[in-house]
Amino acid sequence: MNKQVRLAVFISGSGTNLQSIIDRCADGTIPAEVALVVSSDPEAYGLVRAEKVGIEGAVYRRKDFPDGRAADDYLLDLLDRHQIDIIALAGYLKMVAPAIISRYRGRVVNIHPGILPKYGGKGMYGHFVHEAVVKAKEKETGVTIHIVDEIYDHGTVLACEKVPVFPEDTPDELAQRVLKVEHALYPRVLKELSEEIAKEKTS
Ligand code: GRF
């Protein structure tokens, strides 16, 4: 068995969180390596980020498969072949199928750019969260990192950090402030999780 903890990062877009995870693995803060990047969008800039540092990138779209079973089997095989220990969702806009969650129970994590459960649920992702927060004139928003289970935005919260909202904020300005916190918090959580898994692998 491979002793190094291996991460798969799932993305759909720009991949700034992916970049922060790659950087913190490279400098040793996270005791793991990004072994695979999976994107639901072939045009996602995160795939370019992966390629630049020699990480394998795969485009995965369930619509490319004849049925759900074939899509699950393909992804499970891809994860197996890369000996993946942890799946980190970073701006991934698709649901992770139950077959994958059940195989990786407790090892699929997601970052949400808002406070859960208030600013979560179907349709409440990415920019929509920041728009809703500004519209509701909240004084605080935040970043939530949680285990992914079969229910959208539902699993155990691993970390949550508050971020202030100022009266003059636009959703874009707020998004930038929240992203900055995301880039520090996600590596912190992945460091802890990787340390736990590293211990299991060597015991
Ligand atoms: C982040 O705000 C993340 O919390 C959310 O989607 C955004 C992805 O940004 N799930 P990036 O692709 O990591 O730049």
Alpha-helical (H) ranges within the chain are 16-26, 45-52, 68-81, 98-103, 126-135, 171-202
> What's the pLDDT at 3?
75
d(CA 189, CA 124): 23
Which residues does residue 146 pair with via DSSP β-bridges, in sequence order?
A: 110, 157
Cα of 1 from ligand 1 centre, angstroms: 32
> What's the pLDDT at 113?
97
Q: Is 167 exposed, middle or buried (0-12, 13-18, 19+ CB in 10 A)?
A: exposed
Count of positions (residues) in the chain: 203
The atom number, within ligand 1, closest to the CA of 15 reads 12
Range of the domain at 30: 5-202
Task: Count how many domains the chain has.
Answer: 1
| 3 state DSSP class of 29 | coil
Cα of 18 from ligand 1 centre, angstroms: 9
Indicate if 112 belongs to the active site: yes
CATH number at residue 65: 3.40.50.170
The atom number, within ligand 1, closest to the CA of 93 reads 10
> What's the pLDDT at 203?
82
For the chain, 203 residues long, give each residue's pLDDT as a single digit of tens: 567 999 999 999 999 999 999 999 999 999 999 999 999 999 999 999 999 999 999 999 999 999 999 999 999 999 999 999 999 999 999 999 999 999 999 999 999 999 999 999 888 999 999 999 999 999 999 999 999 999 988 899 999 999 999 999 999 999 999 999 999 999 999 999 999 999 999 88
Smallest CA separation from ligand 1 atom 10, residue: 91
Smallest CA separation from ligand 1 atom 6, residue: 91
Cα of 90 from ligand 1 centre, angstroms: 6
Does the model's pTM come out above 0.75? Answer: yes
> What's the pLDDT at 2?
62
Are residues 85 and 105 in contact, defined by beta-carbon separation less than 8 angstroms?
Answer: no
Q: Which residues contact 33 (CB under 8 A, 6 or more apart)?
A: 4, 5, 6, 7, 25
